[in-house]
Amino acid sequence: MRNDLKIAPSLLSANFANLEKDLDQINRSEADWLHLDVMDGVFVPNISFGFPVLKAVAAISKKPLDMHLMIVNPDKFISQIRDLGTMMMNVHYEACPHLHRVIQQIKEAGMKAAVTLNPATPVAMLSDIIQDLDMVLLMSVNPGFGGQEFIPHTLNKIRELRELRARSGSNALIEIDGGVNLQTAPLLSEAGADVLVAGSAVFKAPDMIEVIHQLKNA
């Protein structure tokens, strides 16, 4: 069994009427990071939460913040994201025509930098940037909503990404987001994922702390 698999619960599936209670469970769990999905209604067909909520969450989260920006022009918000105490800033390949510049700006701001790929974007698109990345996030559903079904082709993409990573000498972690649960987590772990994001599998469970423990041991 691996002992290095990281779990990042996605707040999108939390009870927004009682965020403090849900965050207390995450704080007391074996979760490694807290995953925060910011949506703008333009890049994805949904709107989630913005800076007022992020500030309140950052103030009580004891887990490092893994910020997933599903927005156009994410470079406009780098300093505001950094000021929240963000550990990792994820931007979408599909949203950044000047990706190299954005990655450098994120790192200069003192955060780790990650690039996210939508399900239809090939891993090969990262061949000229992977050496600069701390992480690659592969979407295993189309971004915008929690509770969707896992796209099995993601398993092939993980294997391709591992090959690209090895060829380029990159240390980028591989994170998977969408449809992660107790059935898919062992497959993802075996394929070589380093970080699993789980929304509904965690926040809709009767015992969040126990589910996180089980995912961690997938």
Ligand X SMILES: O=C(CO)[C@@H](O)[C@H](O)COP(=O)(O)O
Dihedral pair phi/psi, residue 28, rounded to 5°: -90, 0
- Detail the residues annotated as belonging to a binding site: 10, 35, 37, 68, 144-147, 177-179, 199-200
Nearer to ligand X, 35 or 165 (CB): 35
Contact between 146 and ligand X (CB under 6 A)?
A: yes
37 is catalytic: yes
Tell me the site size for ligand X, rule CB under 6 A: 22
Site string for ligand X, 48-77 (x = CB under 6 A): --------------------x---------
Nearer to ligand X, 94 or 177 (CB): 177
Nearer to ligand X, 172 or 211 (CB): 211
DSSP assignments along the chain, one per residue: --S--EEEEBGGGS-GGGHHHHHHHHHTSS---EEEEEEBSSSSS-B---HHHHHHHHHH--SPEEEEEESS-GGGGHHHHHHTT-SEEEEEGGG-TTHHHHHHHHHHTT-EEEEEE-TTS-GGGGTTTGGG-SEEEEESS-TT-SSPPP-TTHHHHHHHHHHHHHHHT---EEEEESS-STTHHHHHHHHT-SEEEESHHHHTSS-HHHHHHHHHT-
Nearer to ligand X, 34 or 170 (CB): 34
Given a contact cutoff of 8 angstroms between Cβ atoms, the answer to whether 180 and 198 are in contact is yes
Q: Which stretch binds ligand X (CB under 6 A): 8-16, 26-34, 121-129, 188-196?
A: 8-16
- Detail the residues annotated as belonging to a binding site for a divalent metal cation: 35, 37, 68, 177
177 is catalytic: yes
The whole-angstrom separation of Cα 196 and Cα 180 is 7
Nearer to ligand X, 170 or 198 (CB): 198
Interface pick for ligand X out of 123, 201, 205, 215 (rule CB under 6 A): 201
Under rule CB under 6 A, which residues in 18-37 are in contact with ligand X? 35, 37
Task: State which residue has the least CB distance to ligand X.
Answer: 199
The β-bridge partners of 196 are 7, 176
Interface pick for ligand X out of 198, 211, 212, 218 (rule CB under 6 A): 198
Site for ligand X, rule CB under 6 A: 10, 12-13, 35, 37, 68, 141, 143-148, 177-180, 197-201
Residues involved in catalysis:
37, 177
